Amino acid sequence: MAYDAPGCGATTCANLDAVSIPYLVSVAEQVLQGKQIDRFHLIGHSMGGLTALLLADHDPTRIASFINIEGNVAPEDCFLS
């Protein structure tokens, strides 16, 4: 399954100010839960690279493999309040 995160690609988002890395991780978790996907291969690109990394960190036992394609990971991105 591949999906566009809210406000990315062809996916719309009513409030782009609400888009943050924690929000994107939460949406990804909700999509996986809704599709009843328990274990998966994870690929992240650009900002999705950091989203995927944090998703994998949240529960690494669910990740069959992880690929980060040109992921944007900067120290300031890791402060998730």
pLDDT digit string (tens) for 16-31? 777 888 888 999 999 9
- Tell me the torsion sign for CA atoms 53, 56, 57, 58: positive
Whole-model pTM: value is: 0.78
* Residue 25 exposed, middle or buried by CB count within 10 Å (0-12, 13-18, 19+): buried
Contact 33, 19 (CB under 8 A): no
Domain ranges of the chain: 38-81
Highest mean pLDDT among 22-26, 32-36, 77-81: 32-36
Q: What is the pLDDT of residues 41-69, one digit of tens each?
A: 999 888 888 889 899 999 999 999 999 88
Whether the per-residue pLDDT at 74 is higher than 70: the answer is no
| pLDDT score at 9 | 77
Higher-pLDDT residue of 71 and 57 is 57
